Amino acid sequence: MVAAQPANDHETIFTVLGDAARRRTPGGLAMQLAMTLAVAVTVLLVAPEWWSFAVLLVAPAAHAAWGLVMHRHGGLGPHHELIPVVIAATGATAALVGTISLALAMFSGTAKGTYSACGVGATSPMCRAWTNPPPASGTTIR
């Protein structure tokens, strides 16, 4: 989002996202920023165990914030160059942390997924047998 077009004219993730943000209207970017942050806060308040999704929503919010900064200030002076860099670093860090935390949650079995089939709403007979075992029949040895 911050890097300028490289000398060899190959597109990078930064040039693609930067061009996309520059083409959007400031109103659209402000709406994206407000909505993604609102959804992230709602997720944190309603279901804090899904904080990974809330962190992932910071990445598109940072993209919108970067676009707003570039629309408002255009060519930033030398004393304002750090602002877009910090916004881009925040978005990249949020995307990385959110992705890694979701992957760890799925593969470690602490989130619903293929590795943790016996969750709260599990309907398989095996899961129900573990949570509510059938009563023992026959004589009980004491």
Residue 115 is predicted with a pLDDT of 46
Give the model's pLDDT for residue 45. 94
Token pair for 47: 């279901």
pLDDT of residue 12: 75
Distance of CA 58 to CAs 14, 61, 94, 112, Å? 17, 5, 6, 23
pLDDT of residue 69: 86
Q: In the block, which residue shows the tokens 């970017």?
A: 29
Nearest to 36 by CA among 64, 16, 67: 64
pLDDT at site 67: 87
77-89 burial code (b ≥16 CB/10 A, e <16):
eeeeeebbeebbe
- Burial label for 53, CB within 10 Å (0-12, 13-18, 19+), is middle
Q: What is the pLDDT of residue 114?
A: 46
Low-confidence stretches of the chain (pLDDT beneath 70): 1-8, 14, 74-80, 108-142
Those residues with Cβ within 8 angstroms of residue 71's Cβ, 6 or more apart along the chain or in another chain: 22, 26, 29
Q: The tokens of 23 are what? A: 């083409």
| pTM flag (> 0.85) | no
Q: What distance in Å separates the CA atoms of residue 19 and residue 14, rounded to the nearest whole number?
A: 8
